[in-house]
């Protein structure tokens, strides 16, 4: 009975990941995280459905090694995701900063994607508490975007009551590292000598904070929540981005 329950849970979990990845590809920005979600879903789903064939394959040493490596990879992934979540939700903002940087994320046409809307809504809450802070919206124009991310963010904030005079537009950056570099230039190189906080989604806090440190900035950070259907694609993609940062230092 227990084996049947485990097999059923594994199959359902794998199917859920596959559907999650397909949903993100169709209805959101298609990223490598969405395809990784489908791949991991298949790793759970197929062995549970074709259990007898899986057992036969595991009789061969090569497939045993592959199974061990997959299990080890799964453990590392689970630990990394837990770390990123805990780190990413431990905000250290004082709500007395001089500047707030909203990191760009992605658009569908001219509309912010769900992760970017979450960042902007968090920024609105912050700006309501700290009414003397200036906000830097940072992000250039990517594939499938008809305007820059910075302009879309500016519109979103002004439509919800933020004075345009409080907004600094940085519309050249194409990466997190450039977000900080060009935001500093847009603020007349004042960020290093000012109190600054950046807002991004929980999965992105760790990498963003360390990329800022590589440029000599010690910014505070404030997280925006990640919706449940974005968790797997975004965290998986972020793991690859962290590995890139560790190797290339950007």
pTM of the model: 0.93
In the predicted model, what is the mean pLDDT of residues 102-131?
95
What are the C-alpha distances in Å from 155 to residues 21, 52, 71, 169? 30, 57, 46, 11
89, containing H or E segment = none
Q: What is the pLDDT of residues 126-157, one digit of tens each?
A: 999 999 999 999 999 988 899 999 999 999 99
Strands 107-108 and 167-170 come out as unpaired
In this predicted structure, what is the pLDDT of residue 111? 93
Return the residue matching tokens 């199974």: 67
Whether the per-residue pLDDT at 1 is higher than 80: the answer is no
Alpha helices in 50-139 (DSSP H): 51-57, 61-88, 114-129
pLDDT top residue among 30 and 102: 102
The yes-or-no verdict on residue 249 having pLDDT over 90 is no
Query: What pLDDT score was predicted for residue 169?
Result: 98
> pLDDT, tens digit, for every residue of 158-200?
999 999 999 999 999 999 999 999 999 999 999 999 999 999 9
Q: How confident is the model at residue 7 (pLDDT cuts 50, 70, 90)?
A: confident
Residue with the bigger pLDDT between 60 and 125: it is 125
Q: Residues of the chain with pLDDT > 90: what percent?
A: 86
Give the pLDDT score at 196: 98
Q: How far is Cα 101 from Cα 182, in angstroms, rounded to an integer?
A: 11
Residue 216 has pLDDT above 80, yes or no: yes
CA distances from residue 133 to 35, 136, 168, 196 in whole angstroms, order as listed: 39, 10, 11, 9
> 51 pLDDT band (50/70/90 cuts)?
confident
**Rounded distance, CA 204 to CA 237, Å?**
10
């Amino acid at each position: 009975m227990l084996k049947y329950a485990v097999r059923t849970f594994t199959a359902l979990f794998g199917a859920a990941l596959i559907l999650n990845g397909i949903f993100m590809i169709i209805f959101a920005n298609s990223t490598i995280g969405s395809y990784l979600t489908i791949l991991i879903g298949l790793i759970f789903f197929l062995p549970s459905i074709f259990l007898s064939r899986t057992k036969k394959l595991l009789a061969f040493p090569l497939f045993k090694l592959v199974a061990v490596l997959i299990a080890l990879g799964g453990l590392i992934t689970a630990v990394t995701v837990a770390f990123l979540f805990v780190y990413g939700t431990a905000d250290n903002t004082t709500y007395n900063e001089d500047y707030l940087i909203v990191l760009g994320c992605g658009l569908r046409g001219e509309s912010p994607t769900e992760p970017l809307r979450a960042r902007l809504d968090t920024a609105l809450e912050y700006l309501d508490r700290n009414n003397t802070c200036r906000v830097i919206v940072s992000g250039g124009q990517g594939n499938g975007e008809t305007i820059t991310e910075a302009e879309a963010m500016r519109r979103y904030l002004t439509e919800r009551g933020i004075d345009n005079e409080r907004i600094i537009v940085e519309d050249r950056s194409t990466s997190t590292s450039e977000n900080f570099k060009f935001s500093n230039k847009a603020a007349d190189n004042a960020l290093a000598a000012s109190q600054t906080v950046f807002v991004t989604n929980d999965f992105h806090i760790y990498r963003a904070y360390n990329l800022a440190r590589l440029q000599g900035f010690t910014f505070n950070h404030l997280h925006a929540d990640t919706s449940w259907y974005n968790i797997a694609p975004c965290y998986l993609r972020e793991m690859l981005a962290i590995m890139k940062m560790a190797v290339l230092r950007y």
